[in-house]
Amino acid sequence: MDRHEARALEILTAISEGRPLSQRALAERLGIALGLVNLYLRRLSRKGYVKITEFPAKPAARKRLRYLLTPKGLAEKSRLTYQHMVYSLHLFRRTRDTLRGSLALMVEQGMKRVALYGPGEAAELAYLTLKEFGLEPVGIFAPTADGDFLGFRVRAAAELRGEDVDAVIVATFERPEADVEALVRGGIPADKCVTLRRLAPATNGGRP
């Protein structure tokens, strides 16, 4: 599933929830520009997935729009949801296999002090994989301290010291380059950063 299909699914899901919805709210929900949301909505409308109607309003009032999911749109949402589930399962399995390989090598080398960077679904998967190897994370870190996660206090990345850990698992399913760069700027050696996806050559010094 590419990002366009993922965004279309998110928009169709938001519309299907039946609550009043503005393009600005959609933009914030998807984390994209307002103009891009407008483009997606017009595209979905042209395909017959979404019906756009105007609210009854006084002549002087600002025009308001209502977005409705059509039967064709409901079918498309079901198709994309299934596709997303298949993609997610494949991603989870592939990521877990990659992480298992990295952890197995670390355990063989006697490396046990592992931190997680970035609470979220990827961190949950990384945590479960750590437990398979009998390891407990030394801590969970994020750019800023932010509550609790998996029973751990989420600590600010500024508290993370390279000498205190053997490795830092960069727990994200997205491209990890920006997170790795942030950790390196904070003093974590690049070779201690374990990513769930292979780094681009420009970030890892040209390694494949």
| CATH number where 144 lies | 3.40.50.720
pLDDT band, residue 19 (cuts 50/70/90): confident
Whether the CA torsion 134, 136, 138, 141 is positive or negative: it is positive
Q: What is the total count of domains within the chain?
A: 2
Do 41 and 29 contact (CB within 8 A), yes or no? Answer: no
Closest CA to 46 of 10, 76, 26, 17: 76
User: For residues 181 and 82, what is the distance between their CA atoms, to the nearest angstrom?
Assistant: 35
Q: What angle do CA 134, 136, 142 make, to 5 degrees?
A: 145
Contacts of 69 (CB under 8 A, 6+ apart): 12, 15, 16, 49, 50, 51, 77
Q: For residue 95, tell me if it sits in a domain.
A: no
β-strand pairing of 139-142 with 114-117: parallel
Q: Of 84, 99, 132, which marks where a domain is finished?
A: 84
Q: Of 84, 100, 119, which marks where a domain is finished?
A: 84
Closest CA to 195 of 89, 116, 105: 116
Q: For residue 47, tell me if it sits in a domain.
A: yes
* Tens-digit pLDDT profile for residues 58-82: 555 556 788 999 999 999 999 999 9
Residues in the chain: 208
Q: For residue 191, tell me if it sits in a domain.
A: yes
Regarding whether 118 and 44 lie in a shared domain, the answer is no
* Tens-digit pLDDT profile for residues 135-171: 999 999 999 988 898 889 999 999 999 999 999 999 9
Q: For residue 205, tell me if it sits in a domain.
A: no
Regarding whether 64 and 10 lie in a shared domain, the answer is yes
Q: Structural domain of residue 44, as residue ranges?
A: 3-84
pTM of this structure: 0.69
